[in-house]
Structure formats: C-alpha cells, structure tokens
Amino acid sequence: MPTMGSKLRAEQIELMAGIIHKERNQSNFIKSLNSLIDLESGKLVNDKLGTDQKAMLKDWRRQAQISLKLPSSFVSEFARLTSESMHVWAMARKENSFLTFAPYLEKIVSMLRKKSDLLGFKDHPYDALLDLYEPGFTTSEIKLLFGKIKKTTTSILLKIAQSKDVECSFLHGNFPKDKLLQFSHLLLESLGYDFDKGRLDLSQHPFSISLHPFDSRITTRIHNDSLFDCISAVLHEGGHSLYEMGLNPEHYGTPLCDAVSLGIHESQSRLWETRIGQSKPFWYHFLPILKTYFPELDPIDLNTFYQAINRVEPSFIRVEADEITYSLHVILRFEIEKQLIEGSLKVSEIPETWNYLMYNYLGIKPSTDAESCLQDIHWSMGAMGYFPTYVLGNVFASQFFEAFAKEHTDWEKRVAEGELGFLRKWLEKNIHSLGKTYSAKDLVKKMTGSSLSEKDYVTYLNKKYQELYGFA
C-alpha cells in the first residue's frame, strides 16, 4: 500500500471493526447462543452434544463474552488508533526516533489498561490481554515458566561465550535470488506444502496469511548476502501454512477450522524451522542438493554446515536471533509489557529499560532505537500479551516433538533419506485437523500424557548445544 493510503485505510478498518463488533453482539445471535450454552456459567443446555459441537459452543461463548464486554465505541477507537500507529511506527523506525512513536504508544498503553479492566481479570491486569492470544494462561504461570527458561538459556550462553567460535562465513556471500527461490520451492514441496493451495512470494518481513485451508500463502525475504535467513523463513512460515492447510475445510467458518492459539501455531512453525530445519539428518539429505544450486558450498562438509547454521551469538534483532538467545529477546519484551500494563513503567522509560535488560541478558547494548525498542511491529498494533506465545511455541513444539519421536523411533533415519511427509501427516492427524477441539493445555496432555512443562525444551537445548560447542 502506498504511504499516502494509510489514513484512508485507518478509516476503513475503524468502520469494519465497528460493523463486525455490532454483528457479533446482535441480540438475535446472542439469544440463540444462550439457548445452547449458558453464557454466564458456560453450562451446556443439552448435555448430549458431540465433542465437536461442545467445542464450537465453548469457543463461541468465549468470543461472545469478550465482545460483549467491549463497547463498540472502544473497539472502533482502538482500531483507528492502532491503524494510525502502525504507520507512525514505521516512520519512527525509519527515522530511528522513539520520541516520534512514544505519544501513540502512550495512548495504546492507556487503552490497553482500560481494555484489561473492561475484560476483567483475577490477579494481574496483563492476564486479560494474555488470554486473548493464549487462552487459559496467566501472567504468574508465564513468569514461572520464563524464569526457568531464562536460567537455562543464560547458563548455556555463558558456556558458549567461553567456547571456541564457529566458522560460518560461507553462509554469507552473493546468493542469486532466483536460485534461493527455486531451492525454497523444493524445500516446501518436500515438506508436503501444496502449491495448489498456497504460494510463496517475497516481502520485507516474512509472514503467512491464510484465508481458507485451500488458500494459505507465505512470504520470505532475501537478504542477498545471507543464505540461511531465507531458508529458515521459508521453513518457519511453511510450518504455519501447513497448519492452516491441515485444518478441516468441512468446518470452515467454525472454531473447528481454526487454530487452537498463537502458541500452538508458533509450535508448528518452530518445529519445522528448528527441530527439522536445524537438525543434522535433514541436512544430510539436503546439503548435497543445496550444493547443486550453490556450487561454492562444495568444500563444506555436513558437520561444518550443521555447526554454522546453529551458531549462537547475541545480537540486537529478535527475528534474526539463534535458538538460545531467542527466548531472552521475548522474555525481555514480556517483562516490559507486564510493567507497562500494571503501571509500574512509563512509556518514556522503555528505551532505558530495554537497554538495561538487553545488557543483563545478552551482554550487549543497542545504540539506536531502531535496533532496540522500535524493531517490532506488535506494540503499534496494540498487541501486548502476544510476545509470550513465541516462547510457548518452542515449549509446545518440544513436547509435541518428543511425542512424535517416541512414536517414530526411526525418524532420524527417515529424515536423512529426505522423507518428511510422515511428520506432516502426524501433525495433521494429531493437531491440524482437530481445529479448536481441545485447548492448548488439553492438547498437550492428550498428545504427551503430561502437563505443559519446559522440561523437554530445556533438555533439548542443553543436549544439542553441549554437543555443538563441546562443553560439559
């Protein structure tokens, strides 16, 4: 969209948000819903409904409850504010000026605090916002989980800092765009990505968008000098898209053709990106193929390549972070958001707090706003409570992957032979096709037999990076 178009777009979005909200709160719809499920207590009127119907009603009730609590004037105003703010944020980031964005962010934070009051919460105002993205999770639960992950990752990071650095210069060079795109198509096809139902394009920031299980599109980006940036974006967004393609189209328009939560969505992208795309068996098969596209990689052996794509180094930008520092980037944002929403931190104090935490967790100090608190779009969209789902995605992915590995003890051998369809089918059967039948926590329990826990994730990181860097 051209820059000048953003004001009109903000007005359109404000209007649409108002209309959608009004339709949702329409008394006919609310009455019908209430005749099937008591909106107040959540008790089903007819106990004999099937699992599918129960799940649909439960989610429709949840949506109705949220919608009924928010006045339409609030919804429209928030839609206009955030639409304008995204535009201002993009400008501010270009100009590297937090001061330009700060007045908008102040309005957003104040409206989010109001939103959390309107929605209601038990213990912490952030609970109400977190629940919008990851239903059933609380701030205190996240704090506890993140505390454990922070402990592990900072300790691994310290050990890596004392280890020998890894050679990775061959991942940077002049890689022709068309070759990278051809290889990306090949990767997606081997994952089972159906190009009759999706497509791959280029954009500034990689993303995936799905309109229907038969129309699920992704983008990647090509930094001319970076080989792996494009590959990991393709695997990541491809993972998101496979989830959407695996939903049951028969249930389109209902919660059963909808993803469980943002965290579960992210588990699908991270699973393909990291557990497969950064694994040795995967590159045992794909490195020789990659070399046919980029012969300059010929002298690189599998071990050297595997080490390079898993190299750990603290850096400023979250989306470029390695597996170890990634969680720390997210935890930092969670801590800032939590304080903003509870009112213990002012917007004007964000840059200083950001840099302080960055130095504490990663040992590096950003020197500009663009490489610190202006780097992500989320706050300008009014999306606070969203960031924790990125780490949850890794936690869910690890638990799911352990369950998969238990069932397919020969997975490494099969992946090394270039076979990937069996993983996609397993995910489709156990996660994708179920839509919102189960909550995130229930799904974890159903698939793994245990409750949500950081254990599998932490064990995986410890083992992998111990081997990679050879520390005790």
Query: Which chain residues interact with Co ion by CB under 5 A?
Result: 266, 269
Strands 208-212 and 200-202: unpaired
Q: Which residue is nearest to Co ion (CB)?
A: 269
CB of 128 to Co ion, least distance (A): 23
Q: What is the DSSP letter of 164?
A: P
Asked if residue 85 lies in contact with residue 105, where contact means CB atoms within 8 angstroms, the answer is: yes
Question: Minimum distance between the CB of residue 207 and Co ion, rounded to whole angstroms?
Answer: 8
237 among known catalytic residues: yes
Q: How far is the CB of 208 from Co ion (least distance, A)?
A: 7
Answer left, alpha or beta for residue 280, where phi above 0 means left and psi between -120 and 50 means alpha: alpha
Helical residues (DSSP H) of 408-454, grouped into ranges:
411-416, 421-430, 440-448
CB nearer to Co ion: pick between 241 and 448:
241
- Supply the minimum distance, in Å, between the C-beta of residue 24 and Co ion: 27
* Closer residue to Co ion in complex, CB, 109/271: 271
Whichever of 207 and 426 has its CB closer to Co ion, that residue is 207
Tokens of 85: 């703010």
Nearer to Co ion, 26 or 203 (CB): 203
List the one residue out of 207, 164, 166, 176 whose CA is nearest residue 309. 166
Do residues 304 and 275 lie in contact, with contact meaning Cβ atoms separated by under 8 Å?
Answer: no
**Token pair for 317:** 């930008």
Whole-number Å distance between alpha carbons of 418 and 21: 47
Nearest CB to Co ion, comparing residues 206 and 351 = 206
Bridge partners (DSSP) of residue 226 are: 172
Least distance (Å) from Co ion to the CB of residue 266? Answer: 5
Q: What is the dihedral of CA 278, 283, 284, 288, to 10 degrees?
A: -170
CA distance between the termini of the chain: 52
Q: Which amino acid is at 447?
A: M
Residue whose CB is less far from Co ion, 281 or 393: 393
Round to whole Å and give the CA distance between 80 and 74: 10
The alpha helices in 51-71, defined as continuous H runs, are 51-69
Query: What are the tokens at 181?
Result: 């795109």
**From 84, 134, 237, 335, the catalytic residue:** 237
The contacts of residue 20 (CB under 8 Å, 6+ apart) are none
Nearer to Co ion, 82 or 269 (CB): 269
- Which residues of 275-425 form beta strands (DSSP E)? none
In angstroms, give the least distance from the CB of 326 to Co ion. 11
CB 268 within 8 A of CB 390: no
Which residue do the tokens 């709160």 mark? 25
Question: Helix, strand or coil for residue 98?
Answer: helix
User: In terms of CB distance, is 76 or 216 closer to Co ion?
Assistant: 216
What the block records as the tokens of 127 is: 């609970």
DSSP codes of every residue in 241-267: HHHHHHS-GGGTTSGGGS-S-HHHHHH
The catalytic site residues sit at: 237
